[in-house]
Structure 1
Amino acid sequence: MPKPIRGKRAKSDDPDMDFDEGPSKSARKREMTALQELGEALCALSPRELKKIPIDDEDLHAAIEESSRIRQNSAMRRHRQYIGKLMRRIDPEPLQRALDALYQSRKDKTLLFQELEVLRDTLISDGDQALGQVIDKHPEADRQQLRQLIREAQKEAAADKPPAASRRLFRYLRELQSLA
């Protein structure tokens, strides 16, 4: 009688011998590692961000919250494995989608922040020439206040002083962006 090959469907003349063992041990291990990594990503979230993630399993939610109190490496490793074990009981897709949405939100905020920094730097370097772009984009902006902030930031930059006016200009630009 031939020995069945592990992880593959065995072929034989005997219908009782046909069986499928399912995924290989390596595939199962990759799945478990992926669940554990998802659990680690959830543990890295702040409590405010964690509230945005739909975790239905109370044990998993408690284990994720508990992970912030663990300091020892070996204890944290065991706890991550425990979280991975709890993750096997639930459907990880909703958690992954919510985490992806959270990451996209962070990315969008970072891009907006960088755009505002570039706009501020352009206003400081080009002055009134770049001011027209801001006024066109934000007609509700106070032109006089913007000019004053730009002049103060230019003076600070020329005198190598700390960028207090530059920060105020950035805050004003961020306010304009939030109003839009």
Structure 2
Amino acid sequence: MNDYYDDEEHLGPSKTQRKREMHALQELGRQLTELKESQLASIELPEEVLTAVREMQRIRQNEAKRRHLQFIGKLMRNVDGERVAADIDAIKSAGTLSVQRQHLIEQWRDRLLSDNDALSEFISQYPEVDIQHLRQLVRLAQKEQSQQKAPAHARKLFRYLRDTLAARD
């Protein structure tokens, strides 16, 4: 008879705790719906969550919004909530635009140096780029990396990417 109460600690989180966690995930989903598309793209999320968040922007009725937020909260169960919360906080902090742009540039630079397909992808997204100059910078930066030299050309590549992205704005 007392065995039932002794095993309570092994039953897992209480219903109240599970509800708190679900409301926290739903709140994270709500915060995701308030982000701009470019900010949303900087957060690593499953495609189904991204689709649901984008869908939320089309919904106008309050009750439909509430139900859709519950759905987003359900999808968020498969996501690392702490990491997403940290990403949202970073986006909302002061100076996020410049930091976000810098991260994008760093990602492009790193991809260009490690992935041969990234060059054609960058060129397709930024057709105004000087292809010959970009290839030369990538080639010299890769050579630096392989010889374990100071990253002078990698810095030049970073500056060139920064200027290219800034010219588009």
TM-score normalised according to structure 2 size: 0.52
In 2, Cα distance between equivalents of 1:49 and 1:20: 41
Could you tell me how far apart the structure 1 residues matched to 2:97 and 2:58 are?
30
Question: How many equivalent residue pairs?
Answer: 98
Matched with 2:49 is: 60
Match of 2:80 among 74, 91, 114: 91
* Alignment match of 2:28 (pick from 19, 38, 51): 38
**Alignment-derived partner of residue 89 in structure 2:** 100
Look up the match of 1:22: 12
For the 8 Å contact 1:60–1:83, the answer to whether it is kept is yes
Aligned in 2, Cα 1:31/1:19: closer, same or farther, shift over 3 Å?
Answer: closer
Gaps of 5+ in 2: 99-169
CA distance in 1: counterparts of 2:8 and 2:87, whole angstroms = 41
What are the equivalent positions in structure 2 for 1:1-180 lying under 5 Å apart? 1-2=1-2, 4-5=4-5, 10=6, 20-55=10-45, 57-105=46-94
Change (3 A) 1:91 1:107: closer
Q: Aligned in 2, Cα 1:18/1:75: closer, same or farther, shift over 3 Å?
A: closer
Supply the RMSD in Å over aligned alpha carbons.
Answer: 2.3
TM-score after normalising by structure 1? 0.49
Structure 1's unaligned 5+ residue stretches are 11-16, 110-180
Q: Which has the higher contact order (CA 8 A, sep 6+)?
A: 2
Q: Percent identity?
A: 44
Relative to 1, partners in 2 of residues 1:18 and 1:105: Cα closer, same or farther, differing over 3 Å? closer
8 Å CA contact 2:90–2:96 kept in 1: the answer is no
Report how far residue 19 of structure 1 moved. 6.1
> Residue deviations 1:108-127, cap 9 Å, x none?
99xxxxxxxxxxxxxxxxxx
Return the alpha-carbon distance in structure 2 between the equivalents of residues 26 and 106 of structure 1: 38
Once the 2 structures are TM-superposed, how far is the Cα of residue 18 of structure 1 from its aligned partner? 7.7
Shift in Å, 1:39: 0.3
